[in-house]
Amino acid sequence: MQMNKLIVVYGTKPQEMVRPALDRLRVKESLSPTARIGIKPNLVVEKPSSSGATTSPELVEAIIVYLQEVGCRDISILESSAIGHSTQRAFKACGYEALAARYGVKLLDLKHDEVQTVRARELDVRVAAKALGFDYFINVPVLKAHCQTQVTCALKNLKGCLPDDEKRRFHRLGLHRPIALLNMVVRSSLVVVDAFCGDLTFEEGGNPVQMNRIFVTYDPVLADAYAAELLGYEPRSIAYIRLAEELGVGSADLTRAEIIELNVGERHLASPPVSPLALELGRWVEERAACSICYGNLLHALARLKENGSLAALPGKIKIGQGFRGEVGSGVGVGSCTAGLKHNLPGCPPRTREVALFLESLTRIRSEKRSKT
Ligand code: SF4
């Protein structure tokens, strides 16, 4: 099992994306037909996956099809939705009730499950007992920004294995260390990240941005490190990622990871932004036939600039897209298509973290010029 491998598949059709990713990781070899398998999506609220808040049921369906082809029959989907939200309603609203009926898999509402206390270093963690009873645990989070922890992906998704009072206690304890410790108690066997439609700011969705990819790995820390970078953060600046690595849950070292990208040609054109924040950020962009991946990365980078207060210091609109190919002139461009512009960040597509650093450097140059005059 290659823990340092991470497979990224671009596209919009989970049924065509899951199999090649799992085959590359040789998942079949680690599965036994008699294994009790738990699939943990993120169904934090009763909103469809198009909101950016919850895991795509089509992605989970593709995983179930793969498992059933291997002969696995004992499959459960488990969740305890956010405090104040009903898991049962989330199962229905997010399309999981119909999915479970179609494939004969169980739906487990962990909110009202028995609780088991498990020691993780200095903390007694109270976990829903059923979450501990699987031979193979597939963590299927959504890649999202988060107002408190900056990023939410695989490590934090396991908070949905806790009863509500334990979720509250995690917040009182500062979230980061308890999340890292929880991942010592509930071990992810495999992580399949839904990055079709990530959210720019909130766990509850509302600012979805097309990202059109999934990524798959055995290591939940590596998954979150990659996710953090996609959203424009230095992975170890997110405390729970750093802590989980220190606790031996996995590795956040992307330089040592073997990252394999599949379907790189699957770059659909970006759709116009729809959410209020995406619209606001989109005013800083001049877009001509940009690929959705490139455009999504730029919006996430702009969201980071907004967070640190440097958005207003941008020198003007950022140009992006294939329509700028061959154009020469002044201005700022992101991506290889805008290589002819005076200020350009190459890459096809450039990564969010690189875009954020590039734009921040432009805002610094502009502030320095202003202070001299
Ligand atoms: S730089 Fe690459 S990813 Fe970005 S718009 Fe051009 S072709 Fe698409």
Verify whether ligand 1 is closer than 6 Å to residue 291 (CB atom). yes
Please work out whether the CB of residue 160 comes within 6 Å of at least one atom of ligand 1: no
| Nearest by Cα to 144 from 60, 66, 41 | 41
End-to-end, the C-alpha distance of the chain in Å comes to: 59
Q: Which atom of ligand 1 is nearest to the CA of 290?
A: 5
Domain boundary (208, 233, 262) is at 262
Same domain for 226 and 334, yes or no, is: no
- Tell me if 323 is assigned to some domain: yes
Q: Residue 268's pLDDT is what?
A: 67
341 and 255 within one domain: no
> CB under 8 Å to 73, separation ≥6 — which residues?
33
173 lies in the same domain as 78: yes
Q: What is the CATH number of the domain that holds 61?
A: 3.40.50.11440
The answer to whether position 177 is within a domain reads yes
Structural domain including 300 reads: 276-372
4 CB within 6 A, ligand 1? no
Instruction: Please tell me if the CB atom of residue 285 comes closer than 6 angstroms to any atom of ligand 1.
Output: no
pLDDT score at 271: 62
| Mutation test residue for ligand 1: of 336, 341, 344, the one with most atoms within 8 Å of CB | 336
Of 10-19, 142-151, 274-283, the range with the highest mean pLDDT is 10-19
Same domain, 165 and 57: yes
Residues 132, 280: one domain?
no
Residue 221 sits in the same domain as residue 333: no
Q: Is ligand 1 within 6 A of the CB of residue 345?
A: no
Q: Residue 43 and residue 213: Cα distance in Å, rounded?
A: 19
Let me know if residue 312 belongs to a domain.
yes
Question: What are the pLDDT digits (tens) for 164-199?
Answer: 999 999 988 999 999 999 999 999 999 999 999 877
* Residue 294 confidence (pLDDT) above 70: yes
75 & 109 share domain: yes
Residues 159 and 292 in one domain: no
pLDDT in tens, 6-45: 999 999 999 999 999 999 999 999 999 999 999 999 999 9
Residues 251 and 297 grouped into a single domain: no
Cα 217 to Cα 6, 137, 142, 196, 310, distances in angstroms = 5, 13, 14, 17, 34
pLDDT digits (tens, 9 = 90+) for 47-80: 989 888 899 999 999 999 999 999 999 999 999 9
The answer as to whether 267 is a domain residue is no
Ligand 1 touching residue 349 (CB < 6 A): yes
- Considering the domain architecture, whether residues 210 and 336 belong to the same structural domain is answered as no
Q: For a pocket test of ligand 1, which of 213, 267, 292, 358 has the largest count of ligand atoms closer than 8 A to its C-beta?
A: 267
Q: How many domains does the chain have?
A: 2
pLDDT per residue over 319-352, tens digit each? 999 999 999 999 999 999 999 999 999 999 899 9
Q: How much is the mean pLDDT over the chain?
A: 92
Last residue of one domain, picked from the residues 262, 290, 317:
262
Lowest-confidence segment of 92-106, 220-234, 235-249 by average pLDDT = 220-234
- Does residue 204 register a pLDDT over 70? no
Q: What is the pLDDT of residue 52?
A: 80
Omega cis (within 30) before 57: no
Residue 236 domain flag:
yes
Q: In this structure, are 247 and 282 located in the same domain?
A: no
**271 lies in a domain?**
no
Residue 146 within a domain: yes
* Same domain, yes or no: 220 and 303: no
Predicted local confidence at residue 133, as pLDDT: 95
Write down the pLDDT at residue 266. 76
Which of 262, 289, 322 is at the close of a domain? 262
pTM for this model (two decimals): 0.85
Q: What is the pLDDT of residues 300-322, one digit of tens each?
A: 899 999 999 999 999 999 999 99
Q: Is 350 in the pocket of ligand 1 (CB under 6 A)?
A: no
Label the pairing between strands 318-320 and 190-199: unpaired
| Distance between CA atoms of residues 373 and 243, nearest Å | 45
Of residues 174, 188, 145, the one with CA closest to residue 41: 188
Confidence of residue 364 (pLDDT cuts 50, 70, 90): confident
Backbone phi, psi, residue 36, to 5°: -85, 120
In a domain, 364, yes or no: yes
Model confidence at 372: pLDDT above 70: no
